[in-house]
Amino acid sequence: MGFPKAIFKVSEVKNCPLYSFGDLFAVTGITISMNSKEENTFITTAIIHSPQNKEKCKILSGDLTKILIQYDRADKIPICLISCSGCTGSLRLENSTDLDLLDSGEEDKYANELASMLHLLSDFAFFKNIDEKNLEQVIKFFKLNKLKEGDIVIRKGDPGGNFYIIITGSVNVINDRGMTITTLKKGEVFGEMSLICNDAIGATIQVREPTSILYIDRKNFQKILNQYPSIQLYFTRLMAKRLTKSNVIRAEDLSSGMIGNLAEIPAEALFQTLNMNSKTGILTISELSSGTARFSFRQGALIKAKYNNYEGEAAFYEILKEQEGRFRFTPGIPSDDFETPEIGYFMKLLMEGMRRLDEQKGKETN
């Protein structure tokens, strides 16, 4: 005999390898009759419905089953928060009768809702970089999440997992002291820096009012970046704007030359700054594990790269692995280099470099 299901929504995520904020789980209680010669007995067990297209976690399934057994029926589970007992990561789930979104028509419902948004989304800065005939196809990569005031979307220090676009409502960007740094509203995006730069989340994002957000995971984010070069240009401009606003490295410092070390400014941030400020000059990085590296830029484009026995793209990918070393940027390049073709589109090089770093870290972990 089956009972009504309880719905759990992921409200916080910390290093969970499988699930993301907003993922939904249904817990359905099943009563099984155990007949014997002496008596009939009944036991309650659970069927856990995991988010579509995601693996089932045995640890989390066990935690949810214990909750069901404790209250005997799924529809008797009170509004509550539970914490996953964890493996390499952990998460918290919120149970609510208002979250009954796992009906058989859920996918159609969300597909129709996204389709109805096409006209609205086409005016957003991000989607303006995609031609109209491909817009509907790109939107299919995204998922829609509706959040209430006070929900934490991402938390500072967590690994980056998704890219987000605010459809309606607004969110606050919170610093370490719990103060609001700025507010992001309709059409604005967040989460992209952690994916592109392979960094941890830089600030906590908290919902300011009832808000609808589109989000896309790392794998599909990479897929649309590779497929649509115009989106790469969008992120280049966006990061340039944010770097300027936060004054990570002042452009005037680059005009007269710059020195520093990779422990303070990672290689990917250093390269981005030179690219986005359209600088011309030579970047020399010394005291590395394999000697000295040398990179030439022309108006922000990478035209020469040499490190150890590597040249071109290979040298660029290798330098991203380095975490210590001293660098110096010297303005100006030889006249002959003004005709040298660029090694490749910078954002594509950077994204590929970050992908390779991810793969390497995954192998080291395993």
Tens digit of each residue's pLDDT (9 = 90 or more) over 110-121: 555 555 566 667
Say if residue 284's pLDDT is above 90: yes
Under the banding of pLDDT at 50, 70 and 90, the label for residue 76 is: low
Cα–Cα distance for residue pair 109/24, rounded to 1 Å: 15
* pLDDT score for 189: 86
Nearest to 53 by CA among 211, 220, 212: 220
* pLDDT score for 42: 42
* pLDDT score for 98: 42
DSSP string, 210-225: SEEEEEEEHHHHHHHH
Tens digit of each residue's pLDDT (9 = 90 or more) over 319-349: 999 989 999 988 888 888 888 999 988 888 8
Calculated CA dihedral for residues 228, 234, 237, 243, nearest 10 degrees: -100
- What does the radius of gyration of the chain's CA atoms come to, in whole angstroms? 25
Nearest to 46 by CA among 8, 85, 72: 72
What pTM does this model have?
0.46
Calculated CA dihedral for residues 221, 225, 230, 232, nearest 10 degrees: 90
Looking at residues 93-97, what average pLDDT do you find? 62
Under the banding of pLDDT at 50, 70 and 90, the label for residue 302 is: very high
Say if residue 105's pLDDT is above 50: no
Say if residue 78's pLDDT is above 70: no
Q: Domains in the chain, start-ordered, CATH in brackets?
A: 6-99 (no CATH), 106-234 (2.60.120.10), 247-365 (no CATH)
Q: Best-predicted range by mean pLDDT among 103-112, 200-209, 227-236, 285-294?
A: 285-294
Contact between residue 107 and residue 52 where contact means Cβ atoms under 8 Å apart: yes
Say if residue 250's pLDDT is above 50: no
Under the banding of pLDDT at 50, 70 and 90, the label for residue 170 is: very high
Tens digit of each residue's pLDDT (9 = 90 or more) over 33-64: 444 445 544 444 556 777 766 777 778 777 77
Query: Which 3 state secondary structure label does DSSP give 1?
Result: coil
The residue among 159 and 302 whose pLDDT is bigger is 302
Looking at residues 248-267, what average pLDDT do you find? 65
Length of the chain: 366
Say if residue 172's pLDDT is above 80: yes
* pLDDT score for 138: 80
The residue among 317 and 84 whose pLDDT is bigger is 317
* pLDDT score for 68: 67
* pLDDT score for 186: 87
Phi first, then psi, for residue 95 (nearest 5°) are: -100, 130
Tens digit of each residue's pLDDT (9 = 90 or more) over 211-228: 988 888 888 888 887 777
Cα–Cα distance for residue pair 205/219, rounded to 1 Å: 22
Q: Which of 32-36, 80-84, 184-188, 357-361 has the lowest mean pLDDT?
A: 32-36
Across the chain, mean pLDDT equals 75
Say if residue 264's pLDDT is above 50: yes
Percent of the chain with pLDDT strictly greater than 90: 16
Percent of the chain with pLDDT strictly greater than 70: 67
Looking at residues 219-248, what average pLDDT do you find? 69
215: left (phi > 0), else alpha (psi -120 to 50), else beta?
A: beta
Contact between residue 204 and residue 174 where contact means Cβ atoms under 8 Å apart: yes
Q: Best-predicted range by mean pLDDT among 91-95, 199-203, 289-293?
A: 289-293
* pLDDT score for 2: 41
